[in-house]
Structure 1
Amino acid sequence: MPSIRVLPDVLASQVAAGEVVERPASVVKELVENSIDAGAREVLVEIRRGGAALVRVTDDGCGMTPGDARMSLERHATSKLREAADLHRIRTLGFRGEAVPSIASVSRFRLKTRTAGAVAGTEIEVEGGRIAEPRDAGCPVGTVIEVRDLFFNVPARKKFLRTETTESAHIEHQLRLHALAAAEVRIRFRKDEREVFDLPAGLDRFDRLRQIVGLAVGKELLRLETTEGRGLKVEGFLLPHGHARRGRKHQCIFLNGRPVEDAAISRGLVEGFRGGLPEGLHPAAWLWIELDPALVDVNVHPAKREIRLRQPHELREAIAAAVMGASSALQPPKPVLREPPSAPVRPAPPRSPEYAAPAPRPVAWQPVAVECPLLPDPAETSRQTGPRFRFIGTLLGRYALLESEDGLVMLDPQAARERILYEKLLAGGQGSGHSQSLLVPVVLDPGPREAELLLAHREGLATAGFELGDFGGGSVQVSSAPSFVDPAEVAALLTGLADELADEASLSRRFALERLAKSLARKAALLEKTRPEEALALLDRLFECDLPYCAADGRPTLTEFSLGELERRFGSSR
């Protein structure tokens, strides 16, 4: 076995970079956090080619002396910790002293900085972890860090970067998080020499949030009453239940000014809705939490995304209580209850001294004879190439009852139509109708990452009947949609698709089309009135499908009860 050796400093920094620097957005996160910790009132972030070619962060913070500038490039060198006890009272965003040397070890790096009292600034260049001698330089008070050719010396890591648009979207998302966490700081973002946004300082949280989510969504924001407990304070905003989405990417949680992720906090949000959300959906929320640093450990994740709470139940209950305070606005509309249609009742059997019959139960099924010249005669067997059936009736106006060679078959017409439409969409058809131009184009604001995903799959979406365009600023314009989709539902349908795409590792066009085809097929099937008596005509189309026995989501289209099973249930035999 080889002997144990201490890693060289450059190699050790590159290993650390594997934990801290996942992608260009990680570089932006670490550098902007340092700028905010330095007291900056203005931060400018510039990128080229998704951040792989250049990330430049300029701030007007306190700057560094020549000695501190050189020391900042050493591993585990920090101004924010002095002793072990400081780990229990961390209030700064950075504290470990690993980010800057890790970034410098996998890039061509330049640092320029000056303090307010210095005549000249300091400039240091680093290439792949090799530090050049510092030199004097002219620069304003503050710090400028340039990171060029990220992962140029670690080609295996560079191959895992996504497209430029995807990496840019991750950076934009990260900056929006920082903009919400530090509303007192002006944050500007430029991509490939074009200004994406300029968020001014001095706004309160509500105005900063409205700038980011847009005025339309901003009108629906619900302010939570400030909730305080032992060593904690919770405030923030929610959107009504109709904006709930799959996954938690639309939940922004800031703990002591740090964007974090935590399952207990997310559970508190769901519990606050008191069962008002469908299973699997999570509310859209923005929470600012102030917590005694002694009650939270922020040193459990290399990128400081995850935390460990010492009293998670108290925080969860405080969040749930804050959400419940807006319960009247959060409750979904109550469904309109209608009296069920009257059904024929079988006469009660005669009573005898030995037996008292139970109260008769309403029966909502009765055989029907179909007289429709456009459909096959009910007594006629289906002419499709699949199994042969004879239509005998309907159940609850929803299911078709068919007689097969081996017993009783129930058909779900809605599930059957879903399968037919799903395969038609995948084959390049337009479902049950054509694409229609929208009188007023719909503008979506799903977030920068989700917008990039939708635009990346616009060709597949066009096959399904959607015409998408880039509206700028992380927004997408929809100018046409399938004719059977209500324009009011376009936003929810495509936003849900974007969420699913963001949650999946595979981002192929086929994947996007399959996801959309499932949603559209289900929606189109719901819009068409169920007519079980048309079962035989529907079966002809169903058995032309590749997988006729299940809908796109796996629900069965047909269920059979064999004659043997029926005889066992009735205790009879031929």
Structure 2
Amino acid sequence: MTIHVLDDNTINKIAAGEVVERPASVIKELIENAMDAGATRIEVEIMAGGTSFMRVTDNGRGMSAEDAHLAILRHATSKIREVGDLNTIGTLGFRGEALPTIASVSRFTLLTRREGDDLGTRVTITGGKEPDFIEAGCNIGTTVKVEDLFFNTPARKKFLKTNHTEGARINDFIVKLALSRPDIEFHFINNNKVSVVTPGTGNLYDTIQAIYGDKTADSLLGLTLEDEDIKISGYITKPSMLKSSRAWQTYIVNSRIIQNRAIAKAIDNAYKSLIPKSGFPLAVLCIEVPQRTIDVNVHPQKSELKFEDESRIFKAVYKAVLDAIRPAGRGLGEVAAVVEKPEQHVTMEPMQFVPATEPLA
């Protein structure tokens, strides 16, 4: 048996299995890069659920020609320099895998320019082949266009859901990213229809209202808690407005969107202790903890996160939610009575941020 060292293109295609699972993963990586580059406005456009066309445009710092050359190399990153930096990661991306991996399974174009540079740089790569670099006129910031995703890995394409489902997933990611950064103006265009626009005022309430509508905004209760080195802020809906799934809950830890069982359980328990009814409130929880007490290296997509002390987080979230609901139910009997009536339970209109776009034929 002979052992070979794999070439970069093969390595990137293998990495694509973890980093680029579907169009939504591509959008997530590209938006996070834009956020890390200091963008205040991010526009995302997709066609056919992202399978045929995705474009992310930002007004961030942009890259020099030299950086554009480096950005498409595997494990080239501006976010960390040495192993010690992994303990205090503050950026969303840091592995240096996203761009070369995406470029290995699509027709990829990157256009970027820094302030002060007369011309920008255009990089085109087709399915991981040799990149083509040219000088080009463009706006300050970066635009990445990804077309024909998985055109050269047909086996991967088979695992994608319908265009409608893939588009809805991208919508979901953008909503969560917009909630995590109310200071950034997001525009999402799906099959030529504007689906999400957020104001970018820095106000979380305004962002929730722009995404979910006035009815939801009227039902919001503010959350706040400070306990030594844990800080919690955000909003949760009143017990009179519950949904049948947790899809409406967004947990943000140190500006990173995560999934975490302890946080979900704490919200459930706080609600169940007051109203013995099934259903989940809409919640946007922003949690700040010292960077050294969490580990984001657990998963390639960095969506799972390990806390040093999970039980402290659970207790803090539980208390924050309880404190928010209690005053709202001055007479909790009155709130419970509303929830008891089945016709009033889960009566909210469908989530506005999943537009009923027809999948392309």
TM-score, normalised relative to structure 2: 0.90
Deviations 1:38-80 (A, max 9, x none): 0011111111111111101111100001111111111111111
User: In the alignment, which of 252, 260, 264 is matched to residue 262 of structure 1?
Assistant: 260
Residue 329 to residue 178, structure 1, CA distance change in 2 (3 Å):
same
User: In the alignment, which of 303, 320, 327 is matched to residue 305 of structure 1?
Assistant: 303
Q: Is the 8 A contact 1:270 1:277 kept in 2?
A: no
Deviations 1:338-360 (A, max 9, x none): xxxxxxxxxxxxxxxxxxxxxxx
Q: What's the C-alpha RMSD, in Å, of the aligned pairs?
A: 2.1
Q: Is the 8 A contact 1:241 1:332 kept in 2?
A: no
Q: Is the 8 A contact 2:20 2:101 kept in 1?
A: yes
Residue 242 to residue 4, structure 1, CA distance change in 2 (3 Å):
farther
Structure 1 residue 204: Cα displacement: 0.6
Structure 1 residue 452: Cα displacement: 5.0
Q: Is the 8 A contact 2:259 2:303 kept in 1?
A: yes
Match of 1:444 in 2: 349
Residue 278 to residue 447, structure 1, CA distance change in 2 (3 Å):
farther
Give distance in 1, aligned partners of 2:178 and 2:350: 17
Percent of aligned pairs with the same amino acid: 39
Match of 1:22 in 2: 21
Match of 1:61 in 2: 60
Matched, 1:179 2:175: no
Match of 1:119 in 2: 118
Q: Is the 8 A contact 1:10 1:129 kept in 2?
A: yes
Structure 1 residue 287: Cα displacement: 0.4
Read off the aligned partner of 2:191 and give its amino acid letter.
Answer: D
Residue 154 to residue 275, structure 1, CA distance change in 2 (3 Å):
same
Give distance in 1, aligned partners of 2:77 and 2:336: 59
Give distance in 1, aligned partners of 2:218 and 2:165: 29
Residue 222 to residue 258, structure 1, CA distance change in 2 (3 Å):
same
Give distance in 1, aligned partners of 2:74 and 2:307: 28
SS in structure 2 at match of 1:70: helix
Where do residues 149-548 of structure 1 align in structure 2 (5 Å cutoff)?
A: 149-224=148-223, 226-273=224-271, 275-278=273-276, 281-326=279-324, 327-329=326-328, 331=332, 333=334, 444-446=349-351, 448-449=353-354, 452=356
TM-score, normalised relative to structure 1: 0.58
Residue 208 to residue 293, structure 1, CA distance change in 2 (3 Å):
same
Match of 1:74 in 2: 73
Structure 1 residue 447: Cα displacement: 5.2
Q: Is the 8 A contact 1:46 1:55 kept in 2?
A: yes
Residue 283 to residue 121, structure 1, CA distance change in 2 (3 Å):
same
Deviations 1:110-160 (A, max 9, x none): 011011121111111111111323110111110010000000011111112
Give distance in 2, aligned partners of 1:85 and 1:335: 51
Q: Is the 8 A contact 1:261 1:307 kept in 2?
A: yes
Q: Is the 8 A contact 1:114 1:141 kept in 2?
A: yes
SS in structure 1 at match of 2:143: strand
Residue 443 to residue 253, structure 1, CA distance change in 2 (3 Å):
closer
Residue 323 to residue 20, structure 1, CA distance change in 2 (3 Å):
same
Which stretches in structure 1 are left out of the alignment for 5+ residues? 337-441, 457-574
Read off the aligned partner of 1:132 and give its amino acid letter.
Answer: P
Higher relative contact order (CA 8 A, sep 6+): 2
Deviations 1:350-377 (A, max 9, x none): xxxxxxxxxxxxxxxxxxxxxxxxxxxx
Deviations 1:294-334 (A, max 9, x none): 01111111111111111111111111111111224254648
SS in structure 2 at match of 1:123: strand
Residue 190 to residue 334, structure 1, CA distance change in 2 (3 Å):
closer
Give distance in 2, aligned partners of 1:123 and 1:335: 59
Q: Is the 8 A contact 2:50 2:167 kept in 1?
A: yes
Match of 1:91 in 2: 90
Paired residue total: 347
Read off the aligned partner of 1:258 and give its amino acid letter.
Answer: R
Structure 1 residue 256: Cα displacement: 1.1
